[in-house]
A and B are shown apart, each in its own frame.
Chain A
Amino acid sequence: MNVRQIESLHKALVESGFHHLEVTFGKIKLKLVRNPAISDVLTDSETSAADSGIGQSDPQTHPVTTMNVISERVGIFTFGKRAALEIGVTVKRGEILGTIKGISIQDHVTAPVSGTVTAIFVTEGEIVEFGRRLFILEKEKIEE
């Protein structure tokens, strides 16, 4: 693997808009991770650059006080006990917001922080895919 190849991979990563790229050339394993907070970061090992934001907050598109709740599974979504989950309702950290039922797996979607539901993007019985944004929570001031 030479510098030219690494450069072209880097270019590909930048152009693609992907966060993360891993390539194996024989014994060489190259991992390129884009840090959305800075610019493009080139790492060569298990360096953990910024979290991709999946399932957590995305500091780029929303202020730190709001958090996206994103599906990490694929399946049919149903609301939790609080079927009346509505905009403006406050939830506690760890509270079940809904369930994604996949094949043999039933995964709870829980509130990553205590706060107020400010947006709901999902409907009962909908098929949700990986990376689907489900809710936005506004963090309680007390948590900060």
Chain B
Amino acid sequence: MLKKIMIANRGEIAVRIIRTCRRLGIRTVAVFSEADRDAMHVRLADEAYCIGPARTDLSYLNIPNLLSVAQATRCDGIHPGYGFLSENPSFAEISQKCGFTFIGPSHRAIERMGQKSVARDIMARSGVPILPGSPGSLEDADEAIAVAKRIGFPVLIKASAGGGGRGMRLAENEATFKNLFLTARGEAQSAFGDGRVYIEKFLRSPRHIEIQVFGDTHGNAIALGERECSIQRRHQKLVEEAPSPALEESTRVKMIETAIKAVHAIEYVNAGTIEFLLDTDGSYYFMEMNTRLQVEHPVTELVWGIDMVELQLRIASGEPIPYTQASLKPHGWSIECRINAEDARTGFSPCPGRITQFIPAGGPWVRVDSAAFANYMVSPTYDSMIAKLIVWAPTRAEALGRMRVALGDFTIEGITTTIPFHSFIMNHPEFKKGQFSTLFVEQHLDEFLAMLPPIKNPSQKENSHTNGQAMEKVHAARAATSS
């Protein structure tokens, strides 16, 4: 087993990783930027070192400084968390070459899955269904038009090196295609330094379903079921749950089989997520593979009863996965709300500032993964996510009820958060029925905005409990008038 690891990350995920390490007796080394001197991960780790100024390129992305800390502190492993360098193949490769165990997949797997069009080709060859699209990246606009016509509009133009929606354009018809193609290429070039794009069929009302997988160095692979991540805004997930209310058992079995086959085919090691789009007719298509621990991993942990960071550490230490697929069984329902320091009224713009009061929700089967606390300064330099609120219950209805109460209990003062928006979602009749697609936020945001008071002073208390109750009344009234 690894003895001492450096966590090349910050925020809640660094804290999350440190907690498992402490339980397993693994010593931890935190790194931090000058902006994070008082951060929680710095306090919880056994040792902590400043690696640069607030700017991420000079600190959390500064490979020489990170590796210098790992070396000077005699770490034997490096956990990259998510974001930052977690899916940077060079970082994984250099870490290994310098003698550190990279707690994640091989750099080759990261590299291949990071090139979205390469990943798609590999998956197609392993028998994973993929969306009809261009065979590889497209250089020429005329060639691209021909491919788009063959697939049939609407088509999505996506950056080969992309993610997070950048370099992505939806072309509804041939007339607008060329301009959008060129814009996407330009955006991809400036965002990722790689202007290659590819196109694929666009599904009008898909659901985002992802399968959690693990592979080990002994050739074993397991899949911990699916996560439903359709509640998103501009490709940023807001709410995740496990299992998915939309998945037929037969589809689930097929997706798990497909995912395990893919893990074997690419000889994948450690935690990974295979993202699929689920069409209204039950067919599903490979979207991409994330070669890291995901933000939303807790919902899988609660349903499957597995500490996924522990499993990552064991696999990285060379141990075989201690379970067989047949021995694993999911239990109940779990939902996660990502609570961001953002204001829904201003297009979810970040609301950095000082948290004056922080009282997390609690109670049985309520979990809060956060690195925030009272007097914590939410820096505009980093991600606006300040907490993940996760609940578990035997059924979806009970989990929803538990989440509604937990959102009402969660007090964050001093900054504006997305807690009221989550209350709105949890009370929405379509969400309650499990009838939603990736378009949910876009389709229902105006309903939420309409029931809010005018913009108030951000220092005022976020009273989500009251908001939640008000929303329930509005939904009930609307349901009554429409029936």
Interface residues, chain A, CB within 8 Å of chain B? 1-2, 5, 8-9, 11-12, 15-16, 18, 20-23, 25, 52, 54, 73-76, 102-105, 127, 129-132
Bound state CA distance, A2 and B349, in angstroms? 10
Decide if B381 touches A23 in the complex (CB within 8 Å). yes
Decide if A73 touches B35 in the complex (CB within 8 Å). no
Contact digits for B40-81, partner A, Cβ 8 Å, 1 yes 0 no: 000000000111111100010000110111111100000000
3 tightest Cβ-Cβ pairs between the two chains A and B: A102-B68, A103-B67, A129-B50
Q: With contacts A74-B68, A102-B68 known, is A20 near B73, CB below 8 A?
A: no
* Interface of B (DSSP majority class): mixed
Contact digits for B356-383, partner A, Cβ 8 Å, 1 yes 0 no: 0000000000000000000001111100
Residues of A within 8 A of B305 (CB): none
**How far, in Å, is A81 (CB) from chain B's closest CB?**
22
**How far, in Å, is B59 (CB) from chain A's closest CB?**
8
Confirm or deny: B154 has a beta carbon within 8 angstroms of a beta carbon on chain A: no
**How far, in Å, is B203 (CB) from chain A's closest CB?**
27
What interface size band does chain B fall in? Answer: 20 to 34
Decide if A131 touches B64 in the complex (CB within 8 Å). no
Residues of A within 8 A of B458 (CB): 8
Sampled A-B contacts (20; CB under 8 Å): A5-B346, A8-B351, A8-B353, A8-B458, A12-B353, A12-B377, A15-B354, A18-B34, A20-B53, A20-B55, A52-B53, A73-B68, A74-B69, A76-B72, A102-B72, A103-B64, A104-B67, A127-B73, A130-B65, A131-B34
Decide if A5 touches B349 in the complex (CB within 8 Å). yes
Confirm or deny: B98 has a beta carbon within 8 angstroms of a beta carbon on chain A: yes
Bound state CA distance, A75 and B67, in angstroms? 9
Q: With contacts A15-B377, A23-B381 known, is A74 near B72, CB below 8 A?
A: yes
Given A74-B51, A75-B72, 10 extra CB contacts under 8 A: A15-B377, A21-B54, A74-B68, A74-B72, A75-B71, A102-B64, A104-B67, A129-B49, A130-B50, A131-B50
Confirm or deny: B352 has a beta carbon within 8 angstroms of a beta carbon on chain A: yes
Decide if B51 touches A21 in the complex (CB within 8 Å). no
Bound state CA distance, A12 and B353, in angstroms? 5
Decide if A12 touches B380 in the complex (CB within 8 Å). yes
Bound state CA distance, A103 and B379, in angstroms? 29
Residues of B within 8 A of A12 (CB): 352-354, 377-380
Decide if B380 touches A75 in the complex (CB within 8 Å). no
Decide if B346 touches A103 in the complex (CB within 8 Å). no
